[in-house]
Amino acid sequence: MGLLPLEKQSKLRQFKDIEDSMRGLIAEMLIRNIIKQKNLRNDYQFKLATTTFGKPYLPDVENFKFNLSHSEDWVVCAVDENQIGIDIEKEKLLDLQIAYQFFTKKECDYIFSLKNHQMQRFFEIWTLKESYIKAVGLGLTIPLDSFSIILDSNDSTIRFESESNDTAFYFKQYTIDTFYKLAVCARGDHFPTEIKQLNVDDLVSKIIG
């Protein structure tokens, strides 16, 4: 943690849950390693700024955007030249009727149309919607039911419908682990075929080595 700026160290120490603190630390290490590897900064103690909606960004670099997410055993990061959002969630038991409170009718129809896969479909929709909200960077000022994620089970396509005129967003889902859903939203349709995986030991070695 000593490699991070003092205010970031202080913020991480404020986490009441040690596991949340560790995930936050790993996320910081991950994005700082990426930024340094891209020669956008010379060390690891640079400051990241945040927008008024709390989205972090690298100051004074226009063509580098990033987003982070974590859930249980995984911390993930997506980077691009334009708006980017990523979300990962571990599936857990919950009352699926909550979908009717937040999702559109089309999304609910998709979730409940296949009885044995309702939980998986819920988290598919959830992560896709979260990835969009995080890409736009306006937080929950965007109502979850103001846009729809339409998945076609037959050909795995993902369509985006929104009340706004700005629908130039693309989505991709990745398989990363059993019982996890991972989705990325970006301005361009140039997603990598596979994601790069790095364990914590290797990440630490890159930073202190």
Q: Look at the chain and report how many structural domains it folds into.
A: 2
Q: At 179, which CATH number?
A: 3.90.470.20
Q: Does residue 1 lie in a domain region?
A: no
pTM beyond 0.85: the answer is yes
Residues 138 and 158 in one domain: yes
Confidence bin at 190 (pLDDT 50/70/90): very high
Structure tokens at 30: 């991950």
* 81: pLDDT strictly greater than 60: yes
Summary mean pLDDT of the chain = 90
**pLDDT tens track for 98-140:** 999 999 999 999 999 999 999 999 999 999 999 999 999 998 8
Residue in the block written with tokens 């364990």? 199
Q: Does residue 117 lie in a domain region?
A: yes
Confidence bin at 2 (pLDDT 50/70/90): low
Contact 25, 1 (CB under 8 A): yes
* 1: pLDDT strictly greater than 60: no
Residues 90 and 174 in one domain: yes
Q: How far apart are CA 21 and CA 1, in angstroms?
A: 11
Confidence bin at 55 (pLDDT 50/70/90): very high
Residues 105 and 175 in one domain: yes
